[in-house]
Structure 1
Amino acid sequence: MRTIRVLAVTALAVLGLTALAVAQSTTTFTVGGTVSVHGGTKAKPKPGGLSFTFDVADPSGNQSPPVQTYSIMYEGGRLNTGLIPGCSADKINTPATPTPDVCPKGSKMGAGRLDALIGAAGQPASSASPCQATLELYNGGKGHATLFVSSELATCPVALRQAIDMQYVTKGEFAGLRFTVPEMLRHQVGLDITVVHAEATLNRIVVKKGKKKVGYIESTGCKDADRDLVVTFTDETGASFPAQKTLGRC
């Protein structure tokens, strides 16, 4: 168990309540992001950086169920996961207290934050405890990235430190990262952890290979004039909910 400490008050806040089944169709998913570079082709890509955000809400005011799997896909780009040093989720999670301090220099490629609710899905969100956590992103080695999630008792009822393996995936003109959130980051002491807002930035990283400059993130152009972002949220029942946003000129 990677939990450093859990405050009993979190459980007392919903003691005696039974989590009600929530029709996930009532949950709204809003996504957004930016890409710092335009143009490029597969033969002559352009290096850049990118960011993404998402918000999850139930218009009825109840806490939504946790999301189990995320797929974050951008049109007209690619990641060169073999370009910089890698640091796997297993490596970070190996110490008794997981830490990215074990990662090699140059492997970090981004950062962000999230807001979550810790309570009972289906109950009023106002009865849940708020939680803020930080995100750190590392290259995970060829075909992978690593997401490190950490929270402190000053801003969250639960202090957690856990790394998540992210798989680099491609589908047609889209490329991005897919990952499954481990059980301990979805449930604690019989309560649900629902992420309601997240934001992260992947930095512009350029490495010189001979006379050529190669980007960790590269724009390869789009078939149309616009670049789309598609984030698919999959809940614990296996139901998937895609959300799409056009980010502007590709």
Structure 2
Amino acid sequence: MRSIRVLAVVALAALGPVAYATAQSSSTTVFTVGGTVSVHGGTKARPKPGGLSFRFDVSDPSGNQTPPVQTYSIMYEGGRLNTALIPGCKADAINAPATPTTDVCPKGSQIGAGRLNALIGSAGQPVSTASTCAATLQLFNGGRGHATLFVSSELATCPIALRQAIDMQYVTSGDMAGLKFTVPELLRHQVGLDITVTHADATLRTIVVRKRGRKVGYIESTGCKDATRDLVVTFTDETGASFPAKASVGKC
């Protein structure tokens, strides 16, 4: 039987040093983001390959479970992903078997790994009334213009054994680039309960491929106009209200 599936979210961060930023909604939900990178500098003509790590936390200072987030947009300045550089593994392919599995993914398609924590309960109620869930993350290149996130958990650390792949679209806007996706209803609510991710972190390793005589990175730094790199993560709830968390993440 196919396991009940739940959303886990993580994605790319800005290509800059350690940084944290918070945004607060009218319902007192606080969103905090941060990231680190292994490379600085570069231009569009001469980009520099590197790796990065990313994390975010969602909380309510009053101690209640926060509402589910419906759409995530994680945008960074002065960087890019070369999604056609390495083999891809689509979310649909992972989810196709009765028990979703990454065994279908081609060699060389994994780009990183991480973990997440979630609450399964009722939004607005005390966190103490919810069940906690810890899961592991695997990230894959999703093919041209996409990345794939696979979340899995065991009954020892979560009320439900989860196995779910999520498609993320690579988007650009001016000097900003990143990943954006909307969470389906099925992955925000199960059996009358709300599913809210409270923490996620991941590390994307440095991947370099020699192409036409030069080294090309899966993740590349291309520089910033003001020499300071910005990270903007926008969390959109089920009412359509958006809460951006922006940080200047140091030297570009």
Same fold (TM over 0.5): yes
| Counterpart for residue 111 of structure 1 | 113
Answer with 78-87 or 46-55: which moved more: 46-55
Answer yes or no: is the 8 Å Cα contact 1:75–1:227 preserved in 2.
yes
CA offset digits 1:62-114 (Å, max 9, x no partner): 10101111111111000000000001001101101001110000000011111
Long gaps (5+) in structure 2: 7-24
| Counterpart for residue 220 of structure 2 | 218
Classify 1:233/1:2 alpha carbon distance in 2 versus 1 (closer, same or farther; 3 Å): farther
- 2:70 maps to amino acid: Q
Q: Secondary structure at the match of 1:40?
A: coil
Give the distance between the partners of 1:119 and 1:130, measured in 2 at CA.
9
Q: Secondary structure at the match of 1:132?
A: strand
| Counterpart for residue 130 of structure 1 | 132
Give the distance between the partners of 1:51 and 1:158, measured in 2 at CA.
27
Q: Secondary structure at the match of 2:164?
A: strand
Q: Secondary structure at the match of 2:243?
A: strand
Classify 1:121/1:202 alpha carbon distance in 2 versus 1 (closer, same or farther; 3 Å): same
| Counterpart for residue 76 of structure 1 | 78
Answer yes or no: is the 8 Å Cα contact 1:164–1:182 preserved in 2.
no
| Counterpart for residue 90 of structure 1 | 92
Q: If you compute each CA radius of gyration, which structure gives the higher value, 1 or 2?
A: 1
- 2:207 maps to amino acid: I
**Which of 147, 150, 157 lines up with 1:148 in the alignment?**
150
Please report how far the alpha carbon of residue 25 of structure 1 lies from its aligned counterpart in structure 2 after TM superposition: 3.5
Task: Tell me the matched-pair count.
Answer: 234
CA offset digits 1:105-132 (Å, max 9, x no partner): 0000011111111110010111111110
Answer with 86-95 or 234-243: which moved more: 234-243
Answer yes or no: is the 8 Å Cα contact 2:29–2:61 preserved in 1.
yes
Answer yes or no: is the 8 Å Cα contact 1:3–1:161 preserved in 2.
yes
TM-score by length of 1: 0.90
Please report how far the alpha carbon of residue 2 of structure 1 lies from its aligned counterpart in structure 2 after TM superposition: 4.0
Give the distance between the partners of 1:113 and 1:56, measured in 2 at CA.
15
Please report how far the alpha carbon of residue 191 of structure 1 lies from its aligned counterpart in structure 2 after TM superposition: 0.5
Classify 1:5/1:212 alpha carbon distance in 2 versus 1 (closer, same or farther; 3 Å): closer
TM-score by length of 2: 0.89
CA offset digits 1:8-45 (Å, max 9, x no partner): xxxxxxxxxxxxxxx75411101000121100000000
Long gaps (5+) in structure 1: 7-22
Answer yes or no: is the 8 Å Cα contact 1:2–1:160 preserved in 2.
no
Q: Secondary structure at the match of 1:90?
A: helix
